[in-house]
């Protein structure tokens, strides 16, 4: 991995209505820390590689496109700079991860405050991914 630690390309975005529907119906595991809520879904490596994310800012709370873009950019910038541990955790276990960032407040946040909250959520998610994989492998061994 060269400069890939801080990239965010088309490959890492979650698209396609099928996949998004699956994420919100099957993958109802949530981690939330106001104002951010995560919805995520682990799947087999064959379906898609690595981590794919989607960022949502509700039109109900932000009527202007400028504000919605601002939130998306804040989150995206955070993910770009500090998602390496998560990616390693997922990639090392041959899984794919679909992930949705939902912004849930009705006013804009400062970048610093938002980043600290995001960091907390990401740490919890990384731990959860590791535990999940280990428990599943344990089940396999039992069988």
Partner RNA sequence: AAAGCUGACCGGUCUGCCGCUGUCCCUUAUGGGGCUGAGGAAAGUCCGGGCGACACAGAGCAUUCCACUUCCUAACGGGAAGCAGUCGGCAACGGCUGAUAAACGCAGAAGAAAACAACCGCCGCAAGGUAAGGGUGAGAAGGCGGGGUAAGAGCCCACCAGGCUUGUGGUGACACAAGUGCUGUGCGUCUUGGAAGUUGCAAGUUCAUGUAUACCGGCGUCAGAGGGCUGCUCGCCUGAGCCGGAGGGUAGAACGCGCGUGGCUGUAAGGCCACGGAGCCUGCCGGCGACGACAGGUCAAGAUUAAUGGCAGACAGGGAAGGUACGUGUACCGACUCUACAGAACCCGGCUUACAGGUCAGCUUUUGUU
Partner RNA sequence: UGGGCUAUGGUGUAAUGGUAACACUGCAGAUUCUGGUCCUGCCUUUCCUGGUUCGAGUCCGGGUAGCCCAG
Strand partners, 42: 97
Which of 69, 119, 135, 136 contacts RNA by CB under 7 A? 69
Q: Does 124 bind RNA (CB under 7 A)?
A: no
88-99 burial, b at 16+ Cβ within 10 Å, e below that, comes to: ebbbebebbbbb
Binding mask 97-116 for RNA (x = CB under 7 A): --------------x-----
Which of 44, 48, 63, 82 contacts RNA by CB under 7 A? 63
Alpha-helical regions (H) of 5-110: 17-25, 65-81, 84-91
Helices and strands in the chain: count of H runs, count of E runs: 4, 4
Stated as kind and residue range, the H or E segment containing 120 is: helix 111-142
Give the range of 1-9, 40-48, 88-96, 132-140 binding RNA by CB under 7 A.
1-9
Give the range of 25-33, 48-56, 123-131, 133-141 binding RNA by CB under 7 A.
48-56
Instruction: State in Å, rounded, how far the first CA of the chain is from the last one.
Output: 36
User: Interface residues with RNA (CB under 7 A)?
Assistant: 2-4, 6-10, 13-18, 20, 54-56, 60, 63-67, 69-70, 72-74, 77, 80-81, 111
């Amino acid at each position: 991995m060269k400069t890939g630690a801080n990239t965010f390309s088309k490959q890492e975005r979650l698209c396609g209505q099928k996949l998004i529907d699956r994420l919100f119906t099957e993958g109802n595991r949530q981690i939330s820390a106001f104002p951010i809520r995560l919805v995520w879904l682990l799947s087999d490596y064959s379906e898609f590689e690595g981590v794919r994310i989607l960022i949502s800012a509700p039109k109900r709370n932000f009527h202007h496109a400028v504000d919605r873009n601002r939130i998306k950019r804040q989150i995206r910038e955070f993910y770009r700079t500090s998602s390496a541990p998560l990616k390693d955790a997922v990639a090392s276990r041959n899984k794919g991860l679909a992930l949705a960032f939902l912004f849930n407040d009705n006013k804009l946040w400062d970048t610093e405050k938002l980043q600290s909250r995001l960091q907390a959520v990401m740490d919890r998610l990384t731990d959860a991914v590791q535990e999940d994989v280990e428990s599943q492998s344990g089940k396999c061994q039992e069988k």
